[in-house]
Amino acid sequence: MEHPIQSVTLASGSLIVQLCLLAVAFAALRLLTKSRSAIQVAKESNGTLVSWALLTFAIIFIGEDYYRLWGPILGEIELPTIPRNYAFLAVFVLDIVFITILILRTGGAKNSPFTSMLFLLPTLAIFLREPAVRFISYAVAVGLIYTFILRKRLYVQAPDFDWDEYDGPSKEDRRVEDHATIFANVMCLLVATLIGYITRPH
């Protein structure tokens, strides 16, 4: 028999998940500083990482569940809190936004080390017992963002670039490769979300 999970446990789980996401992002940015072509972008992205951490941690700590743990230390001072449902929603939306920013700044959907983090978010939503409509919405948002970012790269290339003189894949080959990448990754996201939905705790 499955025991119900207390709300404060979910709040603590959210904090741990956020710490892990930020630690992975920090490590990835540190690794990018070893690349001469990416070092400047990596350093400029540190501010994005700090903003991401401050906003999400603030929401988690003033969430009504986690506030019960540390709020008494303030004595008679009471701070406004955020209901757990809205706090989790806000954190996941911010995760999607900031990871998307990092992807755009570090090479786009096909080359950025942060693309895999974007696909991880729906699974984390299932782990944190988000309602089905929520994690399905996150999965749809992630799929659309990924597809838009990857397809957008096809249209930002210089129109006067001479692909016939380019010693590499042709423009059409690159387009086919990008479509194959979109299909494979979006299908994997769909399968992972479906499995998560079927096996989610009731």
Q: Is 119 domain-assigned?
A: yes
Is residue 162 domain-resident?
A: yes
Tell me what the mean pLDDT of segment 16-26 comes to: 91
Position 159 in a domain:
yes
pLDDT of residue 154: 45
**Whole-angstrom Cα distance, residue 90 to residue 105?**
23
pLDDT at 95: 96
- Burial class, 201, CB count within 10 angstroms (exposed 0-12 / middle 13-18 / buried 19+): exposed
3-class secondary structure, 59: helix
Give 27-65 pLDDT, tens digit per residue: 888 888 887 777 888 888 889 999 999 999 999 999 888
Is residue 1 over pLDDT 80?
no
Number of domains in the chain: 1
97 inside domain: yes
Could you tell me if residue 170 is inside a domain?
Answer: yes
Is the pLDDT at 168 greater than 60? The verdict is no
Q: Are the beta carbons of 47 and 98 closer than 8 angstroms?
A: no
Report the share of the chain in percent with pLDDT over 90. Answer: 23
Contact call for residues 171 and 163 (beta carbons, < 8 A): yes
> Is residue 122 predicted with pLDDT exceeding 80?
yes
DSSP 3-state of 133: helix
User: Taking the model in full, what pTM does it have?
Assistant: 0.79
Does any domain span residue 2?
Answer: no
Looking at the domain assignment, is residue 60 inside a domain? yes
* Residue 43 domain boundaries: 7-199
Query: Is residue 1 situated within a structural domain?
Result: no
d(CA 110, CA 41): 17
